[in-house]
Amino acid sequence: MQYTTTYLSPLGKILLAADDIGLTGLWFDGEKFYAKNLAPEHEEKEVPVFGEVKHWLDLYFSGTNPGFMPPIHMIGSTFQCSVWNVLKQIPYGETTTYGEIAKQIAVSCGKERMSAQAVGGAVGHNEISIIVPCHRVVGTNGSLTGYAGGVDKKVRLLTLEGVNMSVLFVPTKGTAL
């Protein structure tokens, strides 16, 4: 069974979903893949994991590195989960590129190469945004593309974390806006 609740953030309303293992979803209202994997049969109910997640979010939105990971339950393909596990390792206030993640995944799979576009697809389908920090992934050239919650939110999250925004930019054209 999945459970849901809402969290009112400085960036807008967030829907949280969880099962008996942990958090399964964290979506901004109106984001690209909003509640994509939310079970049709779910119940709005405050379960214990939501208290931990809301505490994490309170710390985060106050500009503090929460310093802990609430219980999460990532649901996806083996490849997606491997990419999401890499995302969890990106330190607060730092960024990495799709290409760097592709290199890490290639090494872990014993392959010579991995497609940065495939990595981008997995990053874009991360169901637990912010906590699994897909907003910390940027293009090799510093482009701020590909955030399902919207590039404006990506900019605000990175700014909140103190990322040096002078080396990053929002593209004016392209398919990943």
By annotation, the residues acting in catalysis are: 134
Strand partners, 160: none
Nearest CA to 28 out of 151, 169, 176 is that of 151
DSSP 21-64: SSEEEEEETT-TTTTTT--SSEEE---HHHHHHHHHHHHHHTT-
> What backbone torsions phi and psi does residue 12 show, to the nearest 5 degrees?
120, 175
Count other C-beta atoms under 10 Å from residue 78's C-beta: 7
Count other C-beta atoms under 10 Å from residue 152's C-beta: 12
Q: How far apart are CA 34 and CA 27, in angstroms?
A: 6
